[in-house]
Amino acid sequence: MSSSQRASIYERITAEILAAIERGADTWRMPWHHDGSPAARPINVTTGVAYRGLNILALWAAAEEAGYTHGLWGTYRCWAKLGAQVRKGERATLAVFWKRTEIGDAEDGDDEQSKRPRMFARGFSLFNIAQVDNYSPPEFPRLPESERIAHAQAFIAALQVPIAIGGDMAYYQPSTDTVHLPPFERFKDAVSAIGVSVHEHAHASGAKHRLDRDLTGRFGSFSYAMDEAISELTASFILADLGLACEPRPDHAAYIASWMEVLKSDPRAIFTAASKAQQAADWMHSMQPSRSQEAA
């Protein structure tokens, strides 16, 4: 694949996500907001494995635009193997997988830099279950909300980030490595409180002794907007995993313009944000006790 084709993948996916953000700007509803239902989490119809990183966001954006309500996706060949048929004229959604170049790949030139192994995006096409005939989706069991909330609270506690309760603002303080949260009664409900806490813990994941992201930016700066986008995406990924809704908050209005500026500044910015959000989500999952530890 040529460099121009790779650039086209970055530009096409960024354009589609930007369009989804612009459609929701008036209501603050972004493509990564969801109802927390099992069907909202994009998964591969053949393997049952959840998509990751940028592909989650790209598939959410496509579902938002087309009105898809189910998260089952597959290639044309995947659906055909299951006896299903993609309807004629249906438009595919572009997703990406990452391929490692071989050392000295001829298409990358002969300089020393080009001889180092690198990862690059390669596109492939997916279709949603709403675009196919002759397939019935499986049932996705869902725990009662009270159990999902209790699980989410235990999930946050396992992250072992100090939490200070008080005041009327939620934020992460890097200098003290502390997440600050308003009292519970300041939130609309338990799910809202959990969503804000996960977002602030996503910022905490960037501390130097964790994932070492740049947390020095001030409001309005590129680095500040980037970490807000990373934390927002991390929260949406984690809340989907926990089966809880990710809803817009009033303070999103202050960030939408800066998010769009970041994404428009570089066609690869959303790839970077989604990748770092997936790293943060992976770190959160890695902090959870194993089943053997729970049983001990």
Give one DSSP letter per residue of 10-30, joined into a string: HHHHHHHHHHHHHHHTTTT--
> Looking at the chain, how many residues does it have?
296
Q: What is the mean pLDDT of the chain?
A: 88
pLDDT digits (tens, 9 = 90+) for 91-132: 999 999 877 665 555 444 455 555 566 767 789 999 999 999
- Which amino acid belongs to residue 128? N
End-to-end CA distance of the chain: 51
The residue with greater pLDDT, 6 or 271, is: 271
Residue whose token pair is 């959870």: 288
CA distance 165 to 143: 29
pLDDT digits (tens, 9 = 90+) for 189-224: 999 999 999 999 999 999 999 999 999 888 778 888
pLDDT digits (tens, 9 = 90+) for 122-136: 899 999 999 999 999
Q: Which helix (H) or strand (E) holds 121?
A: strand 119-128
Could you tell me which of 162, 173, 253, 262 has the C-alpha nearest to residue 221? 262
**What pLDDT was estimated at residue 98?**
77
**What pLDDT was estimated at residue 259?**
79
Q: Exposed e or buried b for every residue in 191-206, given b needs 16+ CB within 10 A? A: bbbbbbbbbbbbbbbb
pLDDT digits (tens, 9 = 90+) for 15-30: 998 898 888 878 888 8
Percent of residues, the chain, with pLDDT higher than 90: 62
Sign of CA dihedral 57, 58, 60, 61: positive
Average pLDDT over residues 3-24: 80
Q: Exposed e or buried b for every residue in 106-141, given b needs 16+ CB within 10 A? A: eebeeeeeeeeeeebbebeebbbbebbeeeeeeeee
Crossing angle of helices 269-286 and 222-242, rounded to 10°:
50
Q: Are strands 43-44 and 72-74 parallel, antiparallel or unpaired?
A: parallel
| Backbone phi, psi, residue 11, to 5° | -70, -40
> Does the pLDDT value for residue 295 go beyond 70?
no
**What pLDDT was estimated at residue 216?**
87
